[in-house]
Amino acid sequence: MDSITSAASVVAAGLAVGLGAIGPGIGQGTAAGGAVEGIARQPEAEGKIRGTLLLSLAFMEALTIYGLVVALVLLFANPFAG
């Protein structure tokens, strides 16, 4: 693998995870904030809110993980390695 391809792959891997983390980060913050508000309003619903929150957080996390999968493919299974 020539050096320009590996350099581009490493930069792209970093960008894939970094950029992929922005959106889900904002989304998780919004969701957690909403959950805190819900618990403050209605403390008896905490169990249900927590369960739903964890499930939705994991869904958002999956989006970053897609970026991570792309990064891992670039680093460890690069199709352009030649």
Partner 1 sequence: MGFLPFTLPFAELEVGQHLYWQLGNLKIHGQVFISSWVVLGALLALVVVGTRKMERDPRGVQNLLEFLWDYIRDMAREQIGEKAYRDWLPFIGTLFLFIFVSNWGGALVPWKLIHLPSGELGAPTADINTTVALALLVSLAYFYAGLSRKGFRYFEYYVEPTPIMLPFKIVEDFTKPLSLSFRLFGNILADELVVAVLAFLVPLVVPLPAMFLGLFTSAIQALIFATLAAYYIGEAVHEEHH
User: What does the binding site for partner 1 look like in residue numbers (CB under 8 A)?
Assistant: 1, 54-55, 58-59, 61-62, 65-66, 68-69, 72, 75-79, 81
Instruction: Closer to partner 1 by CB, 39 or 69: give it.
Output: 69
Instruction: Closer to partner 1 by CB, 41 or 50: give it.
Output: 50
Contacts of 57 (CB under 8 A, 6+ apart): 28, 31, 32
CA distance 66 to 30: 21
CA distance 76 to 55: 30
Instruction: Closer to partner 1 by CB, 43 or 82: give it.
Output: 82
